[in-house]
Amino acid sequence: METETAPSPSPEQIDLSAPSVIADPYPAYRALRGRSPVLYARVPAGGAAGLGEPIRAYALLRHAEVLAALRDPQTFSSNVTDKIRVLPRITLLHDDPPRHTHLRRLVSRSFTPRRIAELEPWIGRLAASLLEATGDGPSDLMGAYAMPLPMMVIATLLGIPAERYVQFRSWSESVMSYSGIPAEERASRGKAMVDFFAAELEARRRAPSGDLISALVEAEIDGARLDTPEAVGFCVGLLVAGNDTTTNLIGNMAHLLSERPELYRRAQQDRSLVGPIIEETLRHSSPVQRLLRVTTRPVDVSGVMIPAGHLVDVVFGAANRDPAVFEEPDAFRLDRPPAEHLAFGQGTHFCIGAALARMEARIALNALLDCYESITPGEAPPLRQTRAIMPLGFESLPLVLRR
């Protein structure tokens, strides 16, 4: 068990925005979690959390405080866009109730279990065809499989041409605040994406086609249609949220299995392990590490006062390794009680795509197990993502695939 020690030191001493911490944040979480329930820290401002330089925020690293913040959207508002620059504002993710409640009802119709189950056979064929094209031998699993699969799924759901996924990915990177992309380039990609969706929305207004974009065009809240920025913010949000996240889940899972050949073999023979492998990957290597909130009033969090109007870094990834909740938190274990992890958030903003993501991961893993006798680490080491600062994952994952 970790124990409480000194109160939080100054933000200059606690830097959660260093590239080494972004690449592998767990040693920092381990070292910091015991210090205080709330740490005033330098945190990366990125992903749906904004653009630019690291910012100061109150970081929550423990399961209890993360859960309490997620369950209190009145105090911990998601409307952070006055505090940080985001490109563009993401509808739903950056909205608070009651507007959020109406908007969420609109879009959740497209994510019902039935609607998702309808996609299953098609996603299965897509996964098999991507692996067919990959063949066997050395391969970068990210580029060949983990990246295209979720992108093609979300593009199809939205009703935009899936074969343009490379372009969608580059747009999506501009929102995820990839460092290394010059500001002008990022702005021009962001604009191209906004213009693209505005044109798609306009086309569906003229001729609805039964896809998600058509549903947005036809949707009304209190008798009023969504305006274009709000509808565009929806499309961008779905494109981004449905893409990198699931890509990293598939990549992180393949990486963990490539290092555990015995587990890979067991899963091949006993497919009931697929579900627990997915849940444990979500907990152990959470694809969405963090998101920001802003306090609407002064609030006492486990004895630490956070003033009103301050940013709070809600670190799902750290909560999911909290030893107060998870025995041997750094170990990859399949015998844990069912999901107490917070990888999809909790409460009002609980991930709307969780069922879809779980299904994609299940199909992706089953297709790998069907196709390859073994997946083992390649000659080159995997390259951790450090350019995108909200997700945890790999830029490239060289593996040797054997049929």
Binding site for ligand HEM (CB under 6 A): 70, 78, 92-93, 104, 154, 237-238, 241-242, 245-246, 249, 287-288, 291, 316, 343-345, 349, 351-353, 356-357
Minimum CB separation of residue 353 from ligand HEM in Å reads 2
Q: Which long-range contacts (CB under 8 A, 24 or more apart) does 107-116 make?
A: 107/212, 107/215, 107/216, 107/234, 107/238, 107/352, 108/352, 109/215, 110/157, 110/212, 110/215, 111/352, 111/353, 111/355, 111/356, 113/355, 116/355, 116/356, 116/359
Full strand arrangement of the beta sheet holding 398-402: 137-140, 398-402, 374-377
| CB-nearer residue toward ligand HEM: 160 or 378 | 160
| CB-nearer residue toward ligand HEM: 160 or 356 | 356
| CB-nearer residue toward ligand HEM: 104 or 164 | 104
Minimum CB separation of residue 135 from ligand HEM in Å reads 27
Minimum CB separation of residue 151 from ligand HEM in Å reads 11
Q: Which residue number places its CB atom closest to ligand HEM? A: 353
Minimum CB separation of residue 236 from ligand HEM in Å reads 10
| CB-nearer residue toward ligand HEM: 282 or 375 | 282
Minimum CB separation of residue 191 from ligand HEM in Å reads 22
| CB-nearer residue toward ligand HEM: 241 or 363 | 241
| CB-nearer residue toward ligand HEM: 39 or 352 | 352
| CB-nearer residue toward ligand HEM: 35 or 341 | 341
Minimum CB separation of residue 334 from ligand HEM in Å reads 18
Minimum CB separation of residue 171 from ligand HEM in Å reads 16
